[in-house]
Amino acid sequence: MSEDTAVKQKGDFKSKRNIILIILIAIIIVFVGILNYFTSKNLYNGKIAQNIYIEDVNVSNMTKQEALETIDAKYPTKKVNLSYNNEYYTIEPNQVDLSYDTKDVVDSAYNLTRENSYFSNIVTYISTKFKGHDFSIKVSYDEDKLDKKISSISKQINKSSVDAAISVTSGIYVKESQTGLKCDDKENKKLIEKAYKDKNYETIALKVDVTQPKIKTEDLKSIDSVLAGYSTTFNSSIYGRSYNIALALKRCSTVVMPGETFSYNKATGPRTISNGFQNASVIVSGTYQDAPGGGVCQGSTTLFNAVLLSGLDITQVRNHSKTSSYVPRGRDAMVNDSDSDFKFTNNFNHPVYISAYAGGGQASVKIYGSSQDKVSVSIKTDNFIYNGLPGAKTYRTITKNGKSETKHIYTAVYQE
């Protein structure tokens, strides 16, 4: 090949390469121009990209201001309406600091195709155009304020149940029980929060539970007779002691349901001035001294004997350190605030009612119940001397349907 030919071929190659380079540059310029036109028209046009929804509102091609106005108009904060039994209650937005993050969600929708790199934004735009993108509006509120508002509404609805009561002043009369109402605050809060989240402000029916009384009318209908009674006497001129006996017995007048255990200490409460008791003579470490509640042991003793004669199950009883003047040995029931209580359990199939009172120098207790639970009871006390000290063993025999059973109740030993 001649030198001229080689030079010519080399020149042709350079010429072709330059042409190709020019074409490539032209293509790039055109591509960049198209790309810039595309992005300026679609990505950086000051509007939200296509096929974007906030909740169920299409905000495509809207400016942020347009989208914000549209969303605020569509989803304003509203009061929640609540109802129960044709009564209506409301929770205003400002009472719980309710708000929707409409500005934040509009910003997120606007920035979806702007927040990443140039080419990533283009990919997101194209993907969103075909697949769409949904945004949810977040709700915020002060939970403590909502709890307090719910509690305030509940107080207007809640009603305590009322136990059936019995009166024996002139025959046996039963005052009917009443059911109560209790708002389910936890469930109602969930319903309100769901309304906020769903932006659904239809009236919410409050969940309110009906509460049953512990003692129902039908429970006391079975009480039709006196099962047993017992009385003791005291010197009514000693005011403090008389007052304490009457107060303690008054607090014992109550219904005891089947299977329930009655506690004298629980019924009467602590023997203190603040609990209503007065100073009177009590036995402390074997000696007499004045203290609040003196005389309450005569109340517990009177109750013990009525329970003993009724056939109810005695579960805790203890004698005094000294013989009591108002009952024989083996028939007393000492109580104190620390370790001594008188307790019995209703082992019958029906409720019993304790009618206890004191006045005119006499303490009296009657046990009312169902005639079906009535039994024949006899009490026997065996007196003895132990180490020179007097004592007594107490036994009870219960006869029902021709069958008798005798049980030892307790053994008492006295210092004098």
Return the C-alpha torsion angle 302, 304, 305, 310, nearest 10: 130
Q: What pLDDT does 169 receive?
A: 87
Calpha distance 88→82 (Å, rounded): 6
Q: What pLDDT does 45 receive?
A: 76
For tokens 């989208």, what's the residue? Answer: 67
Mean pLDDT per block of 10 residues along the chain (416 residues) reads 57 70 69 53 74 92 92 91 96 95 91 81 82 91 97 98 93 95 98 93 96 95 96 96 97 97 98 95 79 94 98 97 94 93 98 97 98 97 95 97 96 91
User: How far lies 129's CA from each of 32, 33, 66, 123, 134, in Å?
Assistant: 21, 22, 20, 10, 12
Distant-in-sequence, close-in-space partners of 375: CB < 8 Å, separation ≥ 6: 310, 311, 398, 399, 400
Query: Are 119 and 203 members of one domain?
Result: no
* Residue 232, domain member (yes or no): yes
Residue 72: its H or E element: helix 64-74
Query: Are 179 and 239 members of one domain?
Result: no
Query: Are 59 and 42 members of one domain?
Result: yes
Query: Are 269 and 400 members of one domain?
Result: yes
* Residue 81, domain member (yes or no): no
Count of domains for the chain? 3
The DSSP string of 360-376 is: TTEEEEEEEE-GGG--E
Q: How many residues does the chain have?
A: 416
Query: Are 190 and 298 members of one domain?
Result: no
Query: Are 289 and 157 members of one domain?
Result: no
Over the stretch 266-286, which tens digit does the pLDDT of each residue have? 999 999 999 999 999 887 777
Q: What pLDDT does 127 receive?
A: 82
Domain boundary among 163, 198, 218: 218
Query: Are 44 and 157 members of one domain?
Result: no
Over the stretch 275-331, which tens digit does the pLDDT of each residue have? 999 999 887 777 788 889 999 999 999 999 999 999 999 999 999 999 999 999 999
DSSP one-letter code for 327: S
For tokens 């304790």, what's the residue? Answer: 354
Query: Are 56 and 147 members of one domain?
Result: no
Query: Are 285 and 197 members of one domain?
Result: no
* Residue 83, domain member (yes or no): no
Query: Are 348 and 258 members of one domain?
Result: yes
* Residue 87, domain member (yes or no): no
Beta strands in 69-153 (DSSP E): 80-84, 87-91, 99-100, 133-135, 139-140
Q: What pLDDT does 330 receive?
A: 96
Q: Which residue range forms the structural domain that includes residue 238?
A: 222-413
